[in-house]
Structure formats: structure tokens, C-alpha cells
Chain A
Amino acid sequence: MAETMDRKSFLDKDYTRRQFLKLSGKSLAGLALSSSLLSVLGVSEKAVAEDKVRVWAFPQGLLVVDADRCVGCQRCEINCTLTNDGCCSSYISRVKVTRNLYSSRNGQGLYTEDNWTYFPDTCRQCENPACGNACPMQAIYSDENGIRRVDTDKCIGCGACTAACPWHMPTVNPETHKSSKCIMCGACAEGCPSGALSIVPWDEIVSVSQAI
């Protein structure tokens, strides 16, 4: 049912988040964003118009990926694995930038004509997750907070989730033989030194929605 076409509704953080869920991972090109929203997201109108900005609705805020700001430091991978795996790795990180540094799937990176385009791939938090659907053990579940996790008791490390995901985001840990996927902890964005990954709290989005 159509919600009331009323800005006041956006005062509710959950309402705002549910609206942004509709846009998770989708192109924003063709939409008008106010200058205050652009400012809070830290992106330019050109970026949005040219489909260079993606947003994902996390519980704690909007994850914004700004490819031009990625400086290839790999600290997103470091923070992800320190936080979630208790070790330091690139391969099992749930946010992936190293594989894009040199010659990524899109033909971008330091060893291509498009030399300086590299940025982290993030989990799309798909509404209908290919990874979960492909899992023969139904090991990918939604926990009590709604976050999709891998049940490591059920996981047999078959790699079906990796193969099924169009972006090969889940990774089977070669040490534990269990799959891991993004659980939206936000460590990557918290530690990003350039703002290429940032989580904008819902409070800020809410305040901007009123600023017309």
C-alpha cells in the first residue's frame, strides 16, 4: 500500500530505513538528491547521475560506497577479518578490494588501461539471496536481528554459495572450511581512512529528509 506522501513519515528512522531498503544496491541515476542529502552522503550530483554511487540499507545506517575515494589501502579487509575472524587476511574478508587492485573482472585496476579505478566489492544484502538459495544445507539463515549469517554447524564448505553469488562474495575459509559472508558489522566503514566506505547514521538521513 502506498504510504502517505508525507515528509513527516521520514521522521521515523525505521520508516526511512524501509524506504531505503527499496533502493539497496540499485542505481540512483535519474533521481534528484537534495544538496543536503548529497552533503551527508559525501557524494556529488555528477556521481549519482553517472551511477557511481551505491547505497545499502544497514540496520545502523546507509552504507555508501564511493569508488573514486578508494585508495587501495586494504584496511577494510584487515578490519573485517580482525573483527570477525580473529586473524588478518584478504581472501576471507567479506569486503573485497585486493582482487580489484590489478585487473578486476570489470577490466579495471592498476594493470589495465583504466589504471586508477579500484574499489571494494561489498555484499549486496540481496532480498532474495542467491547464496542462501544455493546452499544445500540451508546454512544461511536470518538471525534474531535480521542479519543473514552462516550457521557453521551446518556448513560443509562446498562453495555453492560462492559460485551462486553473482559477485563471488561469500568465501570458504581454507583453514576452517566454512563459508563466511558479510554480517553488516560496519568495521570496514568505520576503519576506512578515505571515506570510500562510510555508514551514514539514519538520524542524519532523517534530518536531511526534512531539510527541504
Chain B
Amino acid sequence: MAERPDYAAFPDARGHFGAYGGRFVSETLMAALNELEETYLQLRDDPVFRADFDQDMADYVGRPSPLYLAERWSDKIGGARIWLKREDLNHTGSHKVNNTIGQALLAKHMGKPRVIAETGAGQHGVATATVAARLGLKCQVYMGAEDVERQKLNVFRMRLLGAEVIPVTSGSATLKDAMNEAMRDWVTNVDDTFYIIGTVAGPHPYPMLVRDFHRIIGLEAREQFMSRHEGRLPDALVACVGGGSNAIGLFHPFLNDDGVAMYGVEAGGDGLETGRHAAPLAAGRPGVLHGNRTYLMEDQDGQIIPTHSVSAGLDYPGVGPEHAWLKDMGRVQYVSVTDKEVLVAFHELTRTEGIMPALETAHAVAYAGKLAKTMSRDQHIIINLSGRGDKDIHTVAAMEGPKHPS
């Protein structure tokens, strides 16, 4: 293999991560994307903009989020020590708010009075509605009709925050269709509207700027871990991957550290062999959707196929282009766990640590548990505990029936 690249140097000037990424949109949006890119490149090194962002991270989000040693769970597994990067403790209950604050600051700077977003599990929608309320921006959130049904709590939260939730019934009525609809809205209202994309996908510069706003996760975790281990780095990082925003946020500041292994955990659904899953990196192939080239779940004719996952937030047929590239480079291992394994992990962490993870996050928990068993007691894993599980209580109850889990 060729010498390892400087991972911090990507994407290139045209938004490409190797063969992936780019800007595949209709002409109407090209000017808006150019403007967004110019604004962002100008502001990202601007001391005032950075100070505003940092202050919001501290005072509004509650950062830094703790790095917590899950001692009892680690002992029970009997392998590597497992640390949880507690993004679930952020304001709004997940990592998503890091990005919505960053993009809302951009929207404000660009003078856009209206923001739109797509959402799957509703975490990004809630985080967008939250910052919109705070900044006095009009907010509309597109959400697949099926997800509106299975994430009622978050729909109600968004409405309480003053956002309008628009159910999307086209196609499969899930996250990808919500994204189609948000793109259609943006193309129509491009003059006064800022599209706050919720993950590291979409046309350039979104994968880059969303990643940059989430890098704070990895930067903090790195410093927190090293300060407690005399400058030593962790052995492995684990995060769930739908679009991949929480994963890239944790991974990115460690990519040039060769000794740190990384695992992105996709939604295995009913099992990869059944075809009912949402694991494009494990079982898909490269294609173009939603403005970027990346791995996709598609049939042999290039039509996007329905995905399945117990977690609405991972139920997406694509993945951020940087992950596609990191897979091809062999820098990150992409694996999957099934819905069943996810539910077991959800209960296990809740019962041993008193921490209830979101079903998305429970994918990372499930894989980290398996990984820890294969490692020794003097090794360390950091999981990105990207979100809390309150929103999923109804889903878990519906799947398991009213009986109390034993």
C-alpha cells in the first residue's frame, strides 16, 4: 500500500475525498453552494466566528462532554476498558447540536431568515428546531411519514420548539425521501433559505463543514484520554454510522495516529444476508445520490433500494463520502450488527451503567462489547455515546411487548 496520506488535508479544493464526494446537484443550487463554501472558508479561521462557536459549545451545549469509564460493564465483559464519550449529555440529547449551532451561525451570518432540515430519528430535527428558536429563525423540518410515526416524541418536541414538521410520503417515506424533499424546498426557496444538512453527506461543502463542527468530539476525547493516561492514545474507537456524522467527529482528529484502530458500525437490520439492512459500506457499491458520490444501497440498475433498521437515524441508503474513502483506504473498518444485537446492548448498558443509549448509538455499544472481549485488560476503547435513548422507549416497548425485560 502507498504511503499513508495526510488525512487532515481532505477534501481537495473541489470537495473530493479520493473518488468520492463532489457536487452532483442541479444547476439551480450551484450558486448557493459556491456562496456557502466561500462564506465557510472565510469564517472557519475567523477568530470572532470561532469564539462565538466555542462559547455556544460551552454555555449552551454544556461542553466539554465527559469521557466516562464504564467500569462495571468493562468488568462484566472482562476485556478492554471501555470509555464512553458522553454526547448524550449535550443539550438536546445528542451530538447533532454541535453541527446545527455551527450551521445556524453560518445562516445568521449569510442573512438567511429561514432554515430547513431533514431528519430521520428526529435528533437532527430537534437540534435544528432548538437553534432556530434561539436565533429567531423560521424552521421547517422534513421527516419521512414512517419516521413521524415511530418517533412521535421528537415530533412533539420539534413542534413545541416552534418548528413545522412536514411528513414526507413519497418513495419509502423515510430519511432519504425527507432529504429529497428538503432539496426540492431549497431549490425553490434558495434566496432566503439555509439548508441545515444533518450529516456528513450531501454536496460539497456540507461533508466538510459538518465534519469540522463535529471534530470537537474527537479533539476533546483525545485530550481527555491522554491527560488521564500520561499521553497515551486509546487502542480503538467505535461509533455507529448512518450518514456518519458522529463517527467522523470522533475519528477525524485520530486519523493520522496509526496505532488507533477505528470501527464504524452500520445497521445490520435483520442481517446482511437477508438484504433487509442499511449497511451500504458493507454490502453496497459506489454511486451518486443526494449530491455526492459514495457507497449506496442500490439494485443492479442503479435504483436506490429500501433500507431497514430498528433505528430511524441509521435507516439511510447512503453514507458520508469521507467514510467511503476511509473504507477504500483501509483506515477504518466498517462492520455491522443486527437489530437483535442492538436491543441486547441497549438493555445491557442501561442495566450495568444506568445509561440508556439511543438505538443508533446502541449499534456502537453492541460492537464495542464484542470487540472488547477480544482485547486485553490493559487496552482501551472509546465509544461515541452519540445520543440518549429516551426517544426510543416506545420502539423498544413495541418490539418486546409490555413484559419487563429480564
Q: Do A and B bind each other?
A: no
A residues whose Cβ falls under 8 Å from a Cβ of B: none
B residues whose Cβ falls under 8 Å from a Cβ of A: none
